[in-house]
């Protein structure tokens, strides 16, 4: 039952993305093209999703634990660091170029659309390459510290 429901949650997200227009780069880019062929639809996606999640989270987090797992796994980091700003800034440049974001493209991958496959391959390459570089930098930083 746990696995079936987890799968269905993914399905619900996928249907939502499909209906919303987030899987359609033409629509995503037009949302940001206020000076051109503006299509404000995606404000309604963000609005609907955030309001439902805001109310739902408040109800769910009254529980002491999730239904099937021992703990709520919620990010605790509250630092507004350079990494957050730089990373988010870079993400936006790519999103504006390609028109797909990860949450929009993942469900669309189910259609085996060639453009989506190309985008996802590039996305994964970027994620893995960055992970390797970040791990190297962390290792160098650790090695350069004097031994205690």
Partner 1 sequence: MITEFTPIASTVGGILIGLATVFLMLLRGRIMGATGILAGAMLPASRYDWIWRALVLAGMFTGPWVYFALFGELPDIDVPVSTVMLIVGGFIVGIGVTVGSGCTSGHGVCGMARLSPRSFVATGVFMLTTGLTVYVVRHMMGV
Task: For residue 26, count other CB atoms closer than 10 A to its CB.
Answer: 10
Total of residues contacting partner 1 (CB under 8 A): 114
CB of 146 to partner 1, least distance (A): 28
CB of 114 to partner 1, least distance (A): 9
Tokens matching residue 70: 């021992």
Residue 10 sits in the site that holds partner 1 (CB under 8 A): yes
For partner 1, which is the closer residue by CB, 82 or 142? Answer: 82
| CA pair distance 112, 107, nearest whole angstrom | 10
Angle value at C-alpha 97, between 101 and 75, nearest 5 degrees: 35
For partner 1, which is the closer residue by CB, 40 or 139? Answer: 40
For partner 1, which is the closer residue by CB, 138 or 146? Answer: 138
- Dihedral sign, CA of 69, 45, 77, 95? positive
CB of 108 to partner 1, least distance (A): 6
Contact 45, 36 (CB under 8 A): no
**What part of residues 42-101 is at the interface with partner 1 (CB under 8 A)?**
42, 44-54, 56-57, 59-61, 63, 65-69, 71-75, 77-80, 83-101
**What part of residues 103-142 is at the interface with partner 1 (CB under 8 A)?**
103-104, 106-111, 113, 115-116, 118-131, 134
Classify residue 108 as left (phi > 0), alpha (psi -120 to 50) or beta.
alpha
């Amino acid at each position: 039952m746990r696995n079936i429901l987890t799968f269905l949650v993914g399905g619900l997200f996928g249907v939502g993305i499909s209906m919303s227009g987030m899987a359609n780069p033409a629509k995503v880019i037009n949302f940001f093209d206020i000076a051109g062929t503006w299509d404000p639809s995606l404000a309604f996606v963000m609005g609907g999703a955030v309001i439902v999640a805001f109310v739902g989270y408040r109800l769910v987090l009254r529980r002491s634990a999730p239904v099937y797992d021992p703990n709520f796994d919620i990010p605790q980091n509250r630092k507004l660091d350079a990494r957050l700003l730089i990373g988010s800034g870079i993400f936006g440049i790519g999103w504006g170029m390609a028109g797909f974001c990860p949450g929009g493209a993942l469900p669309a991958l189910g259609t085996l659309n060639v453009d989506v496959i190309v985008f996802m391959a590039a996305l994964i390459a970027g994620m893995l390459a960055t992970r390797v570089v970040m791990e190297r930098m962390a290792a160098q930083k650790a090695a350069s510290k004097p031994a205690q």
